[in-house]
Amino acid sequence: SKLKRKQHIFVFRQGANMSLLLATYTSLIILSIIYVSIIGHFSYSLFMCIIN
């Protein structure tokens, strides 16, 4: 009984770690997308200014 409960806690902790990792990766991806789009927007504006 005691062992089973310990196993359950371990599984729960593993799940929590996985979701934390997933959240970290997701936020990193979102941040990089935002960063790339901002950089792209600025370069595009600069490019248009240079052409004109």
Q: What global pTM score does this model have? A: 0.58
Q: How far apart are the first and last CA of the chain?
A: 76
Give the model's pLDDT for residue 3. Answer: 78
Give the model's pLDDT for residue 10. Answer: 79
Of 4 and 42, more confident: 42
Give the model's pLDDT for residue 25. Answer: 96
Give me the DSSP letters along 5-26: HHHHHHHHHHHHHHHHHHHHHH
Instruction: Render pLDDT for 9-50 as a digit per residue (tens, 0 to 9).
Output: 777 788 888 899 999 999 999 999 999 999 999 999 999 999
Separation between Cα atoms, residue 46 and residue 10, nearest integer Å: 54
In the chain, domain spans: 1-52
Separation between Cα atoms, residue 24 and residue 27, nearest integer Å: 5
